Amino acid sequence: MAAITSDAAPATGRPHGDGAPVLHCEGLKKRFGSRQAVDGVGFDIGPGETYGLLGPNGAGKTTTISMICGILARDAGEVFVDGERLDVGTTRAKRLVGIVPQDLAIYPDLTALENLDYFGRFYGMGGAALKGRIREVLDVVQLTDRQRDRTAGYSGGMKRRLNIAIGLLHNPRLLVLDEPTVGVDPQSRNAILSSVETLGQEGIGILYTTHYMEEAERLCDRVGIVDQGRIIAEGTRPELVQLVGQTDKVSLGATGSLQAAAEAMRALEGVQEVTSREGGLDVIVPDASTALPALLAAAAATGTSVRSVEVVEPDLEAVFLHLTGKALRD
């Protein structure tokens, strides 16, 4: 496993890793017939940390979190939430977890308020405490103004947001979200992403699965890249990007003697590759910020005028491609 570990603070600066982990899991395995869906997955999530499982369709994300939440019996492995062992049969530890499943679980004939009241009572809540908590979770998912509408008339994204509110109702220590933005409208997607950001800042642990690289990059303090039932790499975004080998692509929009400029740039120390294209040059360097002055000087010296500069750093998509040889998206 190409996993990397580090004591460095998370890229976002959010607190994590203080005290006992909110989630500790190790050695998780699940086989369906001849298919090893999950093959030895383990990781920790600290308080206030958002951890992403990023992987393509069929990688084993849902199977992994189903075992973590105690919905699915595991063939091997252990799960602890806030230090308490969680198995299919345990109720105590399960109450520390809020689940937002990939498939919706709400009652279409009821309003949002009625749905939340129903699920709250199911969790043994009631009275003013439940009322107050319902108000809070509706606010988190930005559905307060639609709380008295039947959910049958909600958009897919609004239903998904209500599902998140239900998952939060009983004040879980760990919130598990399974690809919550798949198939939702852009407005709801934004509402969901900002809810997750707010929750992370409030200190609960979040386990977020997605096959959208941008979401993992935006939300997650650390990411586990999953492929074929294994975590093939883990770390903060900068740590993961380093696996690709530290390279930036500098795209220069330029006119003039591009060939001469390309040649001059190739001679510069640290420049790995220069390709000329219609209207400019693409230069691969270890670090764009240190290379840029010399690149611009080389352009000027060869009579090339640079009109635009764009720096593209490698992203998690590039990391996945580097590690597996295939694209994250289908």
List 62, 64, 111, 188, residue binding Mg ion (CB under 5 A): 62
Report, in Å, the least distance between residue 194 CB and ligand ATP: 23
Q: How many Cα neighbours within 13 Å face the side chain of 51?
A: 29
Report, in Å, the least distance between residue 56 CB and ligand ATP: 7
Q: Which of Mg ion, ligand ATP, none has residue 59 at its interface (CB below 5 to 8 Å by kind)?
A: ligand ATP
Report, in Å, the least distance between residue 209 CB and ligand ATP: 7
Using the minimum distance from each CB to ligand ATP, give the nearer residue, 119 or 212. Answer: 212
Using the minimum distance from each CB to ligand ATP, give the nearer residue, 50 or 63. Answer: 63
Q: From CA 117, how far away is CA 133, in angstroms rounded?
A: 10
C-alpha pair distances (Å), 94 with each of 26, 132, 159, 175: 17, 23, 24, 11
Using the minimum distance from each CB to ligand ATP, give the nearer residue, 46 or 55. Answer: 55
Q: Which of ligand ATP, Mg ion, none has residue 211 at its interface (CB below 5 to 8 Å by kind)?
A: ligand ATP
CA 48: distance to chain centroid?
A: 14
Using the minimum distance from each CB to ligand ATP, give the nearer residue, 157 or 280. Answer: 157
* 305 phi-psi bin (left φ>0, alpha ψ -120 to 50, beta other): beta
* Residues lying near ligand ATP in the complex (CB under 6 A): 32, 35, 37, 55, 57-63, 211
Residue type, 189: R
Report, in Å, the least distance between residue 76 CB and Mg ion: 20
Using the minimum distance from each CB to ligand ATP, give the nearer residue, 32 or 277. Answer: 32
Residue type, 192: I
State the pairing for strand pair 280-285/248-255.
Answer: antiparallel
Query: Is residue 14 within 8 Å of 46, Cβ to Cβ?
Result: no
Packed helices 156-168 and 112-122: angle between N→C axes, nearest 10 degrees? 30
The residue at minimum Cβ distance from Mg ion is 62
Tokens of 187: 């407005």
Report, in Å, the least distance between residue 216 CB and Mg ion: 15
Q: Which of Mg ion, ligand ATP, none has residue 57 at its interface (CB below 5 to 8 Å by kind)?
A: ligand ATP
Report, in Å, the least distance between residue 80 CB and ligand ATP: 21
User: What φ, ψ does residue 11 adopt, rounded to 5°?
Assistant: -55, -35
Query: Is residue 312 within 8 Å of 270, Cβ to Cβ?
Result: no
Using the minimum distance from each CB to ligand ATP, give the nearer residue, 102 or 194. Answer: 102
Using the minimum distance from each CB to ligand ATP, give the nearer residue, 101 or 205. Answer: 101
Residue with tokens 């009572």: 121
66 makes contact with Mg ion (CB under 5 A): no
Q: How many Cα neighbours within 13 Å face the side chain of 76?
A: 11
Residue with tokens 């976002």: 12
Q: Which of ligand ATP, Mg ion, none has residue 35 at its interface (CB below 5 to 8 Å by kind)?
A: ligand ATP
Torsion angle (degrees, nearest 10) of CA 84, 87, 88, 92 = -20
Report, in Å, the least distance between residue 54 CB and ligand ATP: 10
Using the minimum distance from each CB to ligand ATP, give the nearer residue, 53 or 271. Answer: 53
Residue type, 231: I
Report, in Å, the least distance between residue 63 CB and Mg ion: 8
Q: Which of Mg ion, ligand ATP, none has residue 243 at its interface (CB below 5 to 8 Å by kind)?
A: none
C-alpha pair distances (Å), 310 with each of 99, 152, 282: 41, 46, 9
Binding site for Mg ion (CB under 5 A): 61-62
